[in-house]
Amino acid sequence: MKSTFVSAALVASTAAFPHLAVEKKGVPAGSAHKRVLERATQPQGGAAGVPAPLLPPVFDAASQRIDVNGSHAFVAPGAGDARGPCPGLNAMANHNYLPHNGVATITEFIAATTSVFGMGVDLATFLATYGAILDGDGTSWSIAGGSHVGIGGSHGNYETDSSPTRGDLDQYGSNSDLVLSQFKTLYDMQPDAATANYNIEVLRTFRETRFQESISKNPYFSYQPVAGMLVSQAAFTFIYRFMANHSAEAPEGILNKDVLKSFFSITGDDDNLKWTPGHEQIPYNWYRRNTLDAYTIPYYILYFAAENPEFLLVGCNQGEVNTYNTISASTLSNGAYTVAQAAANPTCFATEFAIAELPGLTGLSGSLVNSLTGAITGVTGALGGCQGISKVNTSALTACPGFALYGGPTGPVAKGAVQS
């Protein structure tokens, strides 16, 4: 189902987001960010089979192969081991690239994500530091856990609704369990196993489907600045950008059915798929992206938004399904950002919103808030600096019964929720 809201947002996009079209096509000479963005926005293999104009680095088997033998052989989690909603972190803990118990320091998260998946240091530092401060003890945190312990208890500040395969907290009563119908929707989008490739364009379509599904099935669907605008987009792009297998023939990477299933802990035939919680596995003969082509912050948000500007608007259902309304960035930021400015630079809007919002809402100590602010401004500074927000207007969010910062990993199912 495609709501009238989306149609309206798409029509509005021509006037409100002309810069997005520019971001998608434009390439001012000499801009590394623009170059990265341009290749990131090319459909893999190019439209209608035309090769992408800017090629990925030459495949380097020795440096891209990830060891899954010996000390890095798969070991299933035991009773005391934390495994949560992030398949990438679960897989690294299962292969001893992160501590097997699922609790790690910022340094360990950065080392593992950059070396195993080719994540850029900027993105890894932001993701790890943000989580350790908001959802851990300031230096370490769990990949599962509860409130102020780990990802599972971060519903609204980190973990979010309309995820690829994990259920919405208020729709299913869990934010960490995989919902097989959601996985199957993605899985079936590439019917032929011989040619299947869950590339970025497939993921964009799937992202749109999931967004609409949350609107039509989760009465408390809430799409907040950081967790929605930033993290939610990342979760979808990560599937192709980090899970794809690379080779000399396909240096940009191909994500086929078997590799997808392995990373999502799915076994069984197409008509009898089975999910085993926490058994995410790095496949044998798997080659990550080249670190010369590390996946960095400018890559990941604007591609989806160029086609779907609604992904850059904060909004929520208002206690019933199909009651989704957007909340203006201008209202939320007391005029510091217009809607168009927030959409032009969602990283700035969302992170500045977090800096202004979190001290009042999280109960974090002053020193942790300072660390968080330092980590965020480190990132935004590298992007050229951001317009600050002196005071947020969170009263606008009271229209959202699903607004939360520390929900999960489990909770009550909302009245009127539709499960499938």
Restricted to residues 143-202, the positions that interact with ligand HEM (CB under 6 A) are 151, 158-160, 163-166
Restricted to residues 96-115, the positions that interact with ligand HEM (CB under 6 A) are 109, 113
Please state the closest distance from residue 109 (CB atom) to ligand HEM, in A: 4
Please state the closest distance from residue 210 (CB atom) to ligand HEM, in A: 9
| Residue of the chain from 172, 206, 242, 311 that contacts ligand HEM (CB under 6 A) | 242
Q: Is 410 helix (H, G, I), strand (E, B) or coil?
A: strand
Binding flag, residue 95, ligand HEM (CB under 6 A): no
Our measurement of the distance from residue 417's CA atom to the centroid of its chain's CA atoms, rounded to an integer in Å, reads: 24
Bridge-based pairing state of the strands 222-223 and 103-105: unpaired
Please state the closest distance from residue 165 (CB atom) to ligand HEM, in A: 3
Please state the closest distance from residue 122 (CB atom) to ligand HEM, in A: 12
Please state the closest distance from residue 194 (CB atom) to ligand HEM, in A: 24
How many C-beta atoms surround the C-beta of residue 137 within 10 A? 12
Restricted to residues 363-392, the positions that interact with ligand HEM (CB under 6 A) are none
Binding flag, residue 125, ligand HEM (CB under 6 A): no
Nearest residue to ligand HEM, by Cβ distance, number only: 88
Q: Which is nearer to ligand HEM, 196 or 339 (CB)?
A: 196
Please state the closest distance from residue 144 (CB atom) to ligand HEM, in A: 11
Stretch that binds ligand HEM, among 94-102, 235-243, 252-260, 409-417 (CB under 6 A): 235-243
Please state the closest distance from residue 179 (CB atom) to ligand HEM, in A: 9
Q: Which is nearer to ligand HEM, 13 or 64 (CB)?
A: 64
Stretch that binds ligand HEM, among 22-30, 83-91, 304-312, 320-328 (CB under 6 A): 83-91
Q: Which is nearer to ligand HEM, 253 or 309 (CB)?
A: 253
Amino acid at 77: P
Q: Is 271 helix (H, G, I), strand (E, B) or coil?
A: coil
Binding flag, residue 289, ligand HEM (CB under 6 A): no
| Residue of the chain from 88, 102, 153, 225 that contacts ligand HEM (CB under 6 A) | 88
Q: Which is nearer to ligand HEM, 103 or 231 (CB)?
A: 231
Q: Which is nearer to ligand HEM, 259 or 344 (CB)?
A: 259
Please state the closest distance from residue 354 (CB atom) to ligand HEM, in A: 14
Cα 78 to Cα 274: distance, rounded to the nearest angstrom: 20
Restricted to residues 214-233, the positions that interact with ligand HEM (CB under 6 A) are 231-232
Please state the closest distance from residue 15 (CB atom) to ligand HEM, in A: 30
Stretch that binds ligand HEM, among 11-19, 80-88, 358-366, 389-397 (CB under 6 A): 80-88
Contact positions vs ligand HEM (CB under 6 A): 85-89, 109, 113, 117, 119, 124, 127-128, 131, 151, 158-160, 163-166, 231-232, 235, 238-239, 242-243
